[in-house]
Chain A
Amino acid sequence: DARVTQTPRHKVTEMGQEVTMRCQPILGHNTVFWYRQTMMQGLELLAYFRNRAPLDDSGMPKDRFSAEMPDATLATLKIQPSEPRDSAVYFCASGNLPGGWEKLFFGSGTQLSVL
């Protein structure tokens, strides 16, 4: 089965450290999303890419977060410096859009704890 792969599954770090989360989208998918899940806010869209180009990153704190797609098989989300309020589960999702919303696939997430 094709799946979206995220690494690491868990990350514990100290405040101020750099954190890099990686996502391997499903081969052939043209759109990649990054979401953040917290108890208080639920699922928030941070950024998304179409054909590797960033289309919208308005949900992302610009001063510390950055998202890139260096190639079609890798998307990265970086936090520098990290803060305790960044503790959350970060999900990557990929699909062929527009039109293929019923085939949007989510990875299992990276659970980030910033101490």
Chain B
Amino acid sequence: GNSVTQMEGPVTLSEEAFLTINCTYTATGYPSLFWYVQYPGEGLQLLLKATKADDKGSNKGFEATYRKETTSFHLEKGSVQVSDSAVYFCASLPRMGGGNKLTFGTGTQLKVEL
């Protein structure tokens, strides 16, 4: 079946530190991959996406590269800010089977401190 595994949180970093949140997926074929962000008290928002191998999604200083060989889509940011504190969800959308269903990871909470 389709599944997404994320590193557990919370991840606590100092401002300007480098961020990596790991995400790996299992799927039939090559799914589209997404990162969503959930700020406190809000719904999820799409942060970035990649639809095929070696694609790099980027937005607001965040990046993630679709790695077929390692079935991964790790989220990175070179210098985090306090305003990046949120919960980050990795998600996959299968191309074959599974219908129109996004499968989400369990989320990783990021806390950025001054």
Contact = CB atoms under 8 A, between A and B. Distances in A.
Interface in A62-115: 91, 93, 97-98, 101-109
Nearest to B89: A43
A108 to B, nearest CB: 5
B104 A42 contact: yes
A41 to B, nearest CB: 8
Instruction: For chain B, give the interface size range.
Output: 10 to 19
A4 B100 contact: no
Interface in B1-53: 32, 34, 41-46, 49
Instruction: For chain A, give the interface size range.
Output: 20 to 34
A108 B43 contact: yes
Nearest to B41: A108
B107 A101 contact: no
Contacts of A45: 101-102
Interface of A: 4, 31, 41-43, 45, 48, 55-56, 91, 93, 97-98, 101-109
